[in-house]
Amino acid sequence: MSDDRTAVERILIVDDEPDLRQLVTFNLREAGFEVDAVGSGLAGLALANKTRPAVIVLDLMLPDMPGTEVCQQLRGDPVLADTAVLMLTARGDEYDRLLGFEVGADDYVVKPFSVRELVMRVRALARRTAERRAARATLAGTGKTSEMRLRWKGLELDPVRHRVTLDDVELSLRPLEFKLIQILLENPGRVLSRAQLLEDVWGISGDASSRTVDTHVRRLRERLGVYGDAVETVHGFGYRLKEL
């Protein structure tokens, strides 16, 4: 197995509850991942820089520093720019969810949680990280640029370079935000249900909550600025990219 493959399949758990670390570690290893687990924010930051995991499962409440601060430091490290962060929180109110997304988390799970759903969410995030790293490696190896860019007015997405620009100014998006706007741009005018977006973007099907979709759409609109109205809400159904 190559080092790149190992890195893509590695998961880091940062949580101060030993029983939870053991439970999640066991189930993620059963799902085929390589897993490291630590009990503090500082240990998590140090190990993340050493192993460059695909996904970090990060508790909001840690003994030495808030999980939000850990996430901010991760997002400030260019080496870990493509690492996905799944936030664990014992509090499920909207403020905590938005705060997590505000500092750069890609997804969240509220304790107590379904281990099966957690594994599904980690798998989906790991797949996005793998796609992003593979695209960058391919581009670096060929020196080619993408000819299949997606556009909506001054909004442009390059799927190979994993770049989004607004009026030629590059926009920094998290992997799931990138995937969300990519799917909308690929289906202009088509209504995409929340369930369909959960499956296409997060890789989650079944009874998973659609609130994750709504929260990410709201954050995506904010990031798109003057082009935020490109994403329309179709009440009772889902979302679509407004037709030009």
Residue ranges, comma separated, of all CATH 1.10.10.10 domains in the chain are: 145-241
CATH code of the domain occupying 3-133: 3.40.50.2300
Whether pTM > 0.85 for this model: the answer is: no
The DSSP secondary-structure symbol of 202 reads I
> From first to last of its 244 residues, what are the pLDDT tens digits of the chain?
334 444 458 999 999 999 999 999 999 999 999 999 999 999 999 999 999 999 999 998 999 999 999 998 998 887 887 899 999 887 666 666 667 777 788 888 888 889 999 999 999 889 878 877 776 666 555 555 445 788 999 999 987 677 899 999 998 887 778 889 999 998 888 999 988 888 788 766 655 556 778 888 998 999 999 999 999 999 888 999 998 6
At 172 the pLDDT is 83
Residue ranges, comma separated, of all CATH 3.40.50.2300 domains in the chain are: 3-133
Which of 10, 196, 17 has its CA nearest to residue 113?
17
Strand bridging mode 84-89 / 163-166 = unpaired
Q: Angle at CA 119, nearest 5°, toward 13 and 103? A: 55
3, 114 contact by CB (below 8 A): no
Specify the CATH class of 145-241 in words.
mainly alpha
Strand bridging mode 107-110 / 150-152 = unpaired
Cα distance between the two ends of the chain: 47
Token pair for 124: 């989906």
At 1 the pLDDT is 37
Which of 96, 58, 63 has its CA nearest to residue 75?
58
Which of 63, 120, 61 has its CA nearest to residue 87?
61
